[in-house]
Homo-oligomer: A and B are copies of this chain.
């Protein structure tokens, strides 16, 4: 497993052996259920233990806004911010060389949601790289006239950055996306 060599494995094993019996049993049980118990939420495609994930069943959230991300890990990242809308997980980005076309992504599910639900805004939050940009543009075309607004996360300088060491593309995007003060 990544980051665990023979020495670490030995130390972990002896820790489990020496500790009270509950520990390895609970871990073993959880590991047995890891693959069988885990499904994708039928609504947003996030990992879930039931048909719907905890976010989709939460009635206090704003259902008019959907943030589209590449993977479940990004949902966890956005959940640490004050964002209180819904999500849609694509499980990948368009990348023809890696055999990732529109059919390999959970894109049909997003278009279905746009047709069935009252979505005011879809915020595309794919990574700011070549594949992420291409995917964002493709999704916008597919959602054309199906939702109120399709937007993209802002590109620019991250907080705490040093302009002196910023790359040219980021500086260009930061100038292009400047906002009135």
Chain A positions within 8 Å of B, measured between CB atoms, are 67, 69-71, 73-74, 77-78, 80-83, 123-125, 127-129, 136-137, 140, 149-181
- Say yes or no: A153-B156 contact (C-beta < 8 A), given A136-B181, A171-B77: yes
Number of copies: 2
Of chain B, the residue at the smallest CB distance from A143 is B181
Q: How far is the CA of A77 from the CA of B175 in the complex (A)?
A: 12
B173 touches A151 (CB 8 A): no
In the complex, which of the residues B77, B129, B159, B180 contacts A151, with contact meaning CB atoms closer than 8 Å? B180
**Considering the chains assembled together, what is the distance between the CA atoms of A2 and B28 in angstroms?**
54
Q: A127-B163, A155-B156 are in contact. List 19 more A-B contacts (CB 8 A).
A: A77-B165, A78-B175, A83-B172, A125-B163, A127-B161, A136-B181, A137-B181, A151-B179, A151-B180, A153-B157, A153-B175, A154-B157, A154-B173, A155-B174, A156-B173, A158-B158, A159-B169, A160-B167, A160-B169
In the assembled complex, which residues on chain B have CB atoms less than 8 Å from the CB atom of A153? 156-157, 163, 174-175, 177-178
- Given A128-B161, A151-B180, A179-B151, are A77 and B156 neighbors across the interface (CB < 8 Å)? no
Pairs A–B under 8 Å by Cβ, sample size 10: A78-B175, A81-B171, A83-B171, A127-B163, A153-B156, A153-B178, A154-B173, A155-B159, A156-B174, A159-B170
Q: Is B158 within 8 A of A167, CB to CB?
A: yes
Instruction: With CB as the reference atom, state the residue of chain B lying closest to A123.
Output: B178
Asked if A151 and B73 make an inter-chain contact with CB atoms under 8 angstroms apart, the answer reads no
